Amino acid sequence: MTKGDLVKVVASKTGMSNRAANAALEAVLKAISTALVKGDKVTLTGFGTFMVSPRAARKGVNPRTGAVINIKASKAARFKAGKNLRDAVKK
C-alpha cells in the first residue's frame, strides 16, 4: 500500500475529500516526526509505539576491501507493534 492508496482509504472511510485526507495524513506524519526529533515516544494504543533508539558506536568491515572501519554512534527510528496489531497480523 502506498501513501496515495492510504489517502484514498481514509477519504472513503471518513467521507473526506482526497485533498483533506491527504492533509490530515500529512499532519499526523509531521506530528510523529516532530515528536521523534525531540526524543519523545509516540504511542497509539492498540496500534503501536514509535520511538528513537540509540545505536552504539561499533566496528564494521568494508565488504569490498575487508578493512575494519569505525561506525559512529547514531539514532534510529523504531516501531513496536501493539497487541491489537500483532493479533490482527497473526490471523
Q: pLDDT digit string (tens) for 20-35?
A: 999 999 999 999 999 9
16 secondary structure, DSSP code: -
The identity of residue 18, as a single letter, is N
pLDDT at position 1 is 95
Using the structure block, give the residue that is written with the C-alpha cell 489517502: 7
Angle between helices 3-14 and 18-37 (to 10 degrees): 120
Q: Write out pLDDT tens, residues 32-53.
A: 999 999 999 999 999 999 999 9
CA distance 91 to 84: 11
- Signed CA dihedral, 6, 22, 20, 43: sign only: positive
Percent of the chain with pLDDT over 70: 100
The model's pTM is 0.80
In this model, does residue 91 exceed pLDDT 90?
A: no
Domain boundaries, the chain: 3-90
The DSSP line for 33-82 is: HHHHHTT--EEETTTEEEEEEEE--EEEE-TTT--EEEE--EEEEEEEE-
pLDDT at position 70 is 96
- Looking at every residue in the chain, the average pLDDT score rounds to 95
- Confirm or reject CATH 3.30.465.10 for domain 3-90, answering yes or no: no
